[in-house]
Copies of this chain bind each other. A is one copy, B any other.
């Protein structure tokens, strides 16, 4: 079994209105030192072992379902869990 962590972030060049809204909220709460916020997604997947290479599977899943490669970047960490 694998535990996979996927981090999806907006590309540098893409505007992040949600992040801007959070910055504005923080400023109005007097956290003036926060100069930038970018908001992305964090996903934890549990994947059972199979014949296929786990790295290929995760890459496919990210490209097809979890991220939009046009506006988003992703990176992932794979951790093998030994069943108890």
Instruction: Count the copies.
Output: 2
Given contacts A41-B42, A42-B42, contact A35 B48 (CB under 8 A): yes
**A37, B65: Cα distance in complex, Å:** 12
Closest to A54 in B: B33
Chain B positions within 8 Å of A29 at CB level: 64-65
Chain B positions within 8 Å of A33 at CB level: 47-50, 57
| Cross-chain contact A66 with B22 (CB below 8 angstroms) | yes
Chain B positions within 8 Å of A47 at CB level: 33-35
- Would you call A55 an interface residue if the criterion is a C-beta within 8 Å of the partner chain's C-beta atoms? no
Chain B positions within 8 Å of A37 at CB level: 43-46
- Would you call A38 an interface residue if the criterion is a C-beta within 8 Å of the partner chain's C-beta atoms? yes
